[in-house]
A and B are shown apart, each in its own frame.
Chain A
Amino acid sequence: MKTETLDRLRSRIVKIDSMPAIPVILRPLLRCLDQPAEQVDMDRIVELVSYDKSIAAQCIRMANSALFMRSMPAETVRSAVMSLGMWRVRDLLFSNSLSKVIPANRWVVDPAVFWRHSLGVALVCRKFAEMIEYPDPEKAYLAGLLHDIGVLVNCMVAPEEFRAAMEKATHEQIPLDEAEQATLGFTHSDSGRILAEAWKIPSDIADAIELHHQIGDPERGGPLVALVHLSDLLCRMRDLGYGYYEPRQVDFASEPGWLYLILKFPSMAEIDLARFTFSLDEYAKEVSDLVATVFAG
């Protein structure tokens, strides 16, 4: 996107004061998780969970669901966090706090569908990152989770045009960003970039948010952009998209992101993509369970 368009969009968002505020929990959570898994402070996570009654209740509910139920039901936040594991709690915290960024009645897309896609891309990004030996799989996870936050901005800034874009995409079975370009004049990648800057999200994740549809020269965005781009495509091809049919044929091997990663990460050549694709159905189940917990009331 041209800089002037981005500037115009920025001033439009600022003018109507509709920029979603960063969730209170997000910054401490990002800080807390910005360290190796074994050093993550469990007490701090428990504290963050306890911060919000509804999140705490969700953790306990999920820990006591059939999937995680151990011999003793979890009654405290601590025992729930222990039984769910750090990363699942993190997923709950993120999706829950980000869901509250915009009021329930302002969602243009179904929030459950939105989180299903975002969490799906996050999981696939991390798995992909692990397979190719990308040094920071958790960063890849975060980039995947946040890649579509521009959708939140669009819901707030231009709900009517965004609704029209969503309908156009569904009806004409075209990618969302194409429909947005036609009805809004910008895409969720552009508005996501602006939000990422306002929220001071690390710049490589902000790049992934901006460039995941139009990766252009892969050298510019680096591996994270390529990872998010491919994971997003893969999710859309495997029932973890925005819930409408996109009649297209994707040849991953000729995607610029794929060709770029294969040069940077030799392990990429060993990936059995067919098998990876089939295994995504497992992710779909995991994601659906998580989203069901977040939206169970």
Chain B
Amino acid sequence: MNWLNFHAPGAVAGMVRNGSLTDHHPVKKAPRSKPVDHDWTALMSNETTLLKDEAVVAESLSDPAWIRIRDLIYQVSGIYQAENKFYLLVSRATRRMKVVGARTPREYLDFLTARPNRDSEMRNLLNEITIGETCLFRSLPQIDALRKVVIPSLAEAKKKMAFTKLRFWSAGCSTGEESYTLAMILLEETQGSLKGWTFEVMATDLNDRSVAKAQEGVYNDYAVRNVPPEFMKKYFTKVGSDFHVADTVKTHITFSRLNMLDDSKMLFMRGLDVIFCCNVLIYFDGKSKTRTIQHFYNALMPNGYFFLGHSESLFGISEKFRLVHFPGATAYWKSGEPTSKAGTP
């Protein structure tokens, strides 16, 4: 999701306000890094070779300032950049460094923490980091977790109460890629192991234009690159160079405009089994995040699940949800039982 689509009033203000970077380190020991001498001026003067030359990137990766930038991003947004993906962080942050004119990661860290427009710079960086993350069937481990664990376990629990309907919410749906993915998966399941079940997908976004674009359900080949061939054949029609989502999928989705910071509107979202909210909360400040997550918690049925982006976490915001693991994916679970206080990870 593009933050430009989601201008939450005051959402980002204060994000970096108490920018203490090292005193609240969540994993107790900082990853090892070796300080190295660089000549960054020389690096920056030859921009074109900066990222092409792997050795140079490998060397610059070990600058401890990157670790601090990574930790700051995690603290502010909950997005974690694993060290094996550091080159991505570096290449994307380097783009921002060029824009603002920072010559070293250390200097860029100042732009993110000490300068007057640090909040908006953090937004720009987060935007750069999550760019290109929107496509259909984006996270296969999440999809596997849904199909192989989450949906069967929800169905089992609901069947006991004589319910045969599943309700999903794609919160911050942007241009609809996630919403259609969820609807297609649910269609497959209700034609297979969950015969006789019905479902609906609510899809909301703050931005009118995004919602309108989502409703069209028209995507280019890049957006559908991960869609498995059998889904492609069943649920898309090719028109020119575009791919149109079939009406059989569209009828299951209700798109609407919603501001997640509008408490009165959020109160109406109830009785959901699964909520997806990927790369949206990263732009919220702590208070707004806590409030929104409380709304999500209330909106979910007992045993319901809340999914964030694949490397995004709640970072200790909610003690009510339980962090659960599936192969290659994590989610937050509203347990049917009361949570044990001692064991909240």
Contacts and interface: CB of A to CB of B under 8 A. Distances in A.
A39 interface: no
A281 interface: yes
Nearest to A247: B148
B70 to A, nearest CB: 11
Contacts of A239: 327-328
A243 to B, nearest CB: 11
B27 A249 contact: no
B27 A274 contact: no
Contact of B342 (A237, A246, A259, A270): A259
B333 A282 contact: no
Interface stretch (A98-106, A117-125, A208-216, A250-258): A250-258
A275 interface: yes
B265 interface: no
A277 to B, nearest CB: 6
If over half of A's interface residues share one DSSP class (helix, strand or loop), that class is named, otherwise mixed; here it is helix
Contacts of A262: 342-343
A96 B253 CA distance: 55
Contact of B324 (A131, A250, A284): A250
A276 interface: yes
A271 interface: yes
A274 B315 contact: yes
A272 B325 contact: no
**Interface size grouping (class) on chain A:** 35 or more
Contacts, number: 117
B29 interface: yes
B131 interface: no
Contacts of A285: 83-84
**Interface size grouping (class) on chain B:** 35 or more
B328 A253 contact: no
A238 B328 contact: yes
A203 interface: no
Contacts of A258: 343, 345
A245 B316 CA distance: 29
A274 B343 contact: no
Nearest to A267: B28
A245 B326 CA distance: 10
A279 interface: yes
A261 B322 CA distance: 18
Nearest to B344: A253
Nearest to A274: B313
B340 interface: yes
B82 A279 contact: yes
Interface in A231-251: 234, 236-239, 241, 245-251
A249 B326 CA distance: 5
Contacts of B29: 130-131
B325 A237 contact: yes
Contacts of A279: 27, 31, 80, 82-83
A282 B89 CA distance: 14
Interface in B133-183: 144, 148-150, 153
B153 to A, nearest CB: 7
A273 interface: yes
Contacts of B31: 279, 282
B148 A282 contact: no
Contact of B327 (A246, A275, A284): A246
A273 B316 CA distance: 10
B345 A273 contact: yes
B330 A274 contact: yes
B314 interface: yes
A247 B330 CA distance: 13
Given A236-B327, A275-B26, A248 B149 contact: yes
A253 B322 contact: yes
B227 interface: no
Contacts of A249: 149-150, 153, 324-326, 333
9 contacts: A238-B325, A245-B144, A247-B149, A247-B326, A248-B326, A249-B150, A272-B313, A274-B323, A278-B313
Given A278-B313, A285-B83, 16 more contacts: A130-B28, A239-B328, A246-B327, A251-B323, A253-B323, A267-B28, A269-B342, A270-B26, A271-B27, A272-B313, A274-B78, A274-B315, A274-B323, A278-B82, A282-B83, A282-B84
